[in-house]
Structure 1
Amino acid sequence: MTNSIDELDLMGTGNAIFAIGTNTTECHPIIGLGMMKAAQRGAKLIIADPRAITLTQHADVWLRLKPGTDVALLNGLAHVLITEGLADEKFIAERTEGYEEFRASAMRYTPAYAETITTVPAELIYKAARIIGTARTTATYYTMGITQHTSGVDNVRSVANIAMLTGNMGKALTGVNPLRGQNNVQGSCDMGTLPDVFPGYQKVRLPEVREKFSKAWEIELSETTGLTIPEVLHEIEHGNVKGLFVFGENPMRSDPDINHVKHCLEAVDFLVVQDIFLTETAELADVVLPGATFAEKDGTFSSTERRVQLIRKAIDPIGNSKADWQILAELIKRMGIKTKYNSPEDIFNEMRALTPSYGGITYSRLENEKLQWPCPSEDHKGTPVLHVDKFVRGKGSFFAADYKEPAELPDADFPLVLTTGRVTAHYHTGTMTRRCWGLDGLRPEEMLEINPADAKRFGIEDNGYVVVTSRRGELRARAQVTERVPEGLTFITFHFSESPGNILTNSATDPETGTPEFKVCAVKVRAGSAEKHPAKPYNINNVSA
């Protein structure tokens, strides 16, 4: 996030919130509550989402776009902002570059043309753009509804275009604010768990960066960029990846096209899984290393707003489990590499010495201060708002993006679109929440949302069982006949082992990031039997009605 979560508490009349591709009240309930309270105080709320999520009930404008058409919608908004004189010309001239090329592209996306792609009525595009352009401040929020597409990078850049076009960057109550999907995704990325960077987003390809880390770690580091997750699976199939270490992840439920994932994990020569429970992925492993939960270890988390938070263990690790850092340090040592870590603080201090954005953050400061990176020195107060005087790259770059269709569209054989997401009761693949009696009781089984017109067309009854099939696999779930989804669209989660939503999804990815297109694939639905699901996850290759 460029800005801070608590800015929502300051929003009211004269401010605006633009939330696109984010079911915030379900996936980030505290932030979602903040948005609704801001709307109650008079802030204008613009929601772009195909489904009738909770936030749409509070919205001043609901842009109910066709899944995968975000670029066309955002270009349509940009067209109105430019043609009606609502762009911040001073900000554009002083703080940005590439505007003329972007402007020429956006001018082709009249609201009438955008409507033909998105199905959003042109008058609503005008109304939303005028709110964004006339509000004192507009803060933009997005999540995986923007990124999990084959056009994900174009989507994100188009979101940034709107913020720069209106000068809503570098000051309070504005910004481009991606909400991270899990509690330490931001911290993991900060620490270099991306294939092309070391900690602090320092590029592997830069010789001076490699030299710095090679010297600190006393080992020669490669200039070769690593593989994305889809590339790892591809290379397993081609015999180029022989071993795989899965750490705190459950790709047998969280990755698309699970049958393909299963094939790859069974094919790899050596699979190690480090996790707190025996997940579906861990069940396939040659070795399982039992890690510790958050309550059993010390360390730091970095939240979605770049806030670094100190945690202390409440209990010692149970059984043979160990804190993750201890497991990794022992592995490194046994591989012949010197280690000098005696505590998480030792690791943190090494990291901050090598990572300028964390340089001024210390454990002692975190005891009493609220710090957000970048915090380059110990007398620095942290950075609640990014890009105040200038962008990190100097000038912000506009990007001219054109609408591209999703990789898989409905046809005669698979006539419906499926999109995926979450519900409040469950977290990610359900590894933890489905072991909690109260949470599992709130949502004990999978529900496929389907529009009443489609339900009638395919003979589906509300609360009856259905079989959902894509080109990659099929599952059984209950039907929830609802106008929450428009005609032609269905919705499912990926929380349930006995109904794994990602057995259906498409593994097509964004060409730049390798992020799969979880949000759009083609399916068909038919009525199934009332036979109960097996108590234990079934063989995912064999589903019968």
Structure 2
Amino acid sequence: MAGGDLVARYGLPEGSDLGALGKGDAILVIASDLHQEAPVWWLRLKQAAKRGAELIVLNPRETRLDKFAGHVVRYPYGQEVETLSAFLPGAQVPEALQAVVSAFQAAENAVVFYGSEGLGLDGSQAVAQTAAALVFSRGKTGQPNNGLVAVWPNGNTQGAWDMGFKPSADLASAVRTADVLWAAAVDPAGDDPALAEAVDGARFVIVQELFLSETARRADIVFPAQSFAEREGTVTSGELRVQRYYPAIRPDANIRPDFAISAQIGLRLGLKLEARVSSLALLQAVEKVPTYAGLSYQRLADVTEQWPIFGRKDMYYGGTGYANSQGLGVKLALAADGINPHAAKESAGMPPAAVNGLVLVPMTRLFDRGATVMPSTLLHQRLADKVLQLNPRTAEKLGLDNDSDVLVAANNWTVDARIQLDENVPVGVALVPRSTGFPVTAPLAATVTSRVAVPEVYGGLRS
């Protein structure tokens, strides 16, 4: 998912509060199933709509946010930019969108959320650019309760962008040609056969991991790392708030946090990196990032009197509301680089469907089948299944029924899956949940056939 640099420049500034949005304000959500991708924001936007905010949902399929929205717009997958561009000043607005565009343009304050529904990296970049241009066009950049919010797939993705990390447009090529591949808390070889082949092509592979993943099995060196629950650190949210977190589990004395592992190697290479405690590592990092200037663990741990005041120790009265004694965090200043955003000219589009096939469209489920979720026995009934979600008309055309077992084939891989029929899925596409065994990162043409027995050669993937 792209756009972290744009969020840093055009995001929600200091003084913003989603809880203050109401009558006269507008919230636009595009390409996101918020209930699955960010349920806390789903609740907050639902509450804002009840206070009178104009909630606008742009998505190819129905989501649970729709029933709270004043306006719902459906667009075909691959038409995100064309739909969002109608909200820009001076755009030719189709008659069907005139009411919703007028409602957005008349708002006193406006917040735009964009997600990754049906998008790869190129599509996400195009949506982020257009959303940033829309926010900028209102002339209220830097004013409270106006800005851009990315619905990131992980909790600290914005922090990674702020520290200089960016996704690669051709990850397989970058990995394959690397003299040294350093993989921390990721498993490219387990995610995608093409990336597994690329990892095998790298000259030297270093892995920092909690588990013996497929990538770790291929590594020249593996460093066991502490989990987030065993260490302290910071996270930066999509609202540009930095918060401190604390260890919840006592770590093994022989296992180190990620920053210490990389810093100790850096020291041996002549780099001046902080390897002792994370609070000092933060001070070193913020020296390089202007928007983080002045941050420290002490500032992040500050608390003020919290309202409403009630007996927080008495659950019969206060419920599950507790006093925050670990820190309210700090809202980042917006980055100022003088660059005006420009809307993308067009969406990334959709690939043509294969003969007797369809287009696989990635979407997000809150409880996927990732490595840190699968060990939990309590969550198994809530985990996303390895399914293709199809409209019944699409399934009928392909001769498939609900619960049919199928083989999905594309790009020299095949995956076993099950059909799940859903009237809300657009005709001609199949929704595939991310992190459930499908190596699909962007819309992808594929064939779907009744399952036949073939030898298993790559974990859950077959080729």
TM-score grouping bracket, smaller chain normalisation: 0.7 to 0.9
How far does residue 523 in structure 1 lie from its aligned partner after superposition? 2.0
User: Which residue does 1:540 correspond to in 2?
Assistant: 461
User: Which residue does 2:438 correspond to in 1?
Assistant: 501
Amino acid at match of 1:139: V
How far does residue 320 in structure 1 lie from its aligned partner after superposition? 4.2
User: Which residue does 2:382 correspond to in 1?
Assistant: 442
Amino acid at match of 2:128: V
- Secondary structure of 2:287's aligned partner: helix
Between 1:454-463 and 1:347-356, the stretch displaced more is: 347-356
User: Which residue does 1:250 correspond to in 2?
Assistant: 187
User: Which residue does 1:367 correspond to in 2?
Assistant: 301
User: Which residue does 2:361 correspond to in 1?
Assistant: 419
How far does residue 290 in structure 1 lie from its aligned partner after superposition? 0.8
Work out the CA distance in 2 between the residues paired with 1:233 and 1:401: 26
Deviations 1:457-514 (A, max 9, x none): 1122112222222234221112110012111121011322xxx211xx3xxxxxxxxx
User: Which residue does 1:511 correspond to in 2?
Assistant: none
Which of 182, 187, 208 is 2:154 aligned to? 182
Instruction: Tell me whether 1:171 sits opposite 2:143 in the alignment.
Output: yes
Instruction: Tell me whether 1:397 sits opposite 2:340 in the alignment.
Output: yes
| TM-score (norm. length: structure 1) | 0.71
User: Which residue does 1:459 correspond to in 2?
Assistant: 399
- Secondary structure of 2:247's aligned partner: coil
How far does residue 160 in structure 1 lie from its aligned partner after superposition? 2.1
How far does residue 537 in structure 1 lie from its aligned partner after superposition? 7.0
Work out the CA distance in 1 between the residues paired with 2:420 and 2:119: 26
Instruction: Tell me whether 1:523 sits opposite 2:433 in the alignment.
Output: no
Work out the CA distance in 2 between the residues paired with 1:12 and 1:347: 40
User: Which residue does 1:98 correspond to in 2?
Assistant: none
Amino acid at match of 2:445: A
- Secondary structure of 1:475's aligned partner: strand
Asked whether the 8 Å contact 2:232–2:247 carries over to 1, the reply is yes
C-alpha root-mean-square deviation of aligned residues, in Å?
Answer: 3.0
User: Which residue does 1:326 correspond to in 2?
Assistant: 260
User: Which residue does 1:127 correspond to in 2?
Assistant: 99
The 1:453/1:25 distance shift into structure 2, 3 A limit, reads same
More helix by share: 1
Instruction: Tell me whether 1:491 sits opposite 2:431 in the alignment.
Output: yes
How far does residue 397 in structure 1 lie from its aligned partner after superposition? 2.3
Which of 111, 120, 136 is 1:139 aligned to? 111
Work out the CA distance in 2 between the residues paired with 1:463 and 1:445: 12
Amino acid at match of 1:342: R
Work out the CA distance in 2 between the residues paired with 1:468 and 1:422: 19
Q: Which runs of 5+ in 1 are unaligned?
A: 83-105, 112-121, 195-227, 371-380, 506-517
User: Which residue does 2:290 correspond to in 1?
Assistant: 356
User: Which residue does 1:103 correspond to in 2?
Assistant: none
The 1:464/1:23 distance shift into structure 2, 3 A limit, reads same
User: Which residue does 2:319 correspond to in 1?
Assistant: none
Instruction: Tell me whether 1:233 sits opposite 2:177 in the alignment.
Output: no
Work out the CA distance in 1 between the residues paired with 2:421 and 2:341: 42
Asked whether the 8 Å contact 1:3–1:174 carries over to 2, the reply is yes
Work out the CA distance in 1 between the residues paired with 2:348 and 2:283: 46
Work out the CA distance in 2 between the residues paired with 1:262 and 1:176: 35
Amino acid at match of 1:344: S
Deviations 1:260-306 (A, max 9, x none): 11111122222121112223322332322111011211222222222
- Secondary structure of 1:438's aligned partner: coil
Asked whether the 8 Å contact 1:141–1:176 carries over to 2, the reply is yes
Work out the CA distance in 1 between the residues paired with 2:64 and 2:404: 24
Between 1:349-358 and 1:180-189, the stretch displaced more is: 349-358
The 1:359/1:368 distance shift into structure 2, 3 A limit, reads same
Between 1:287-296 and 1:298-307, the stretch displaced more is: 298-307
How far does residue 356 in structure 1 lie from its aligned partner after superposition? 2.7
Amino acid at match of 1:299: G
Asked whether the 8 Å contact 2:404–2:418 carries over to 1, the reply is yes
Asked whether the 8 Å contact 1:470–1:523 carries over to 2, the reply is yes
How far does residue 12 in structure 1 lie from its aligned partner after superposition? 2.3
The 1:131/1:253 distance shift into structure 2, 3 A limit, reads farther
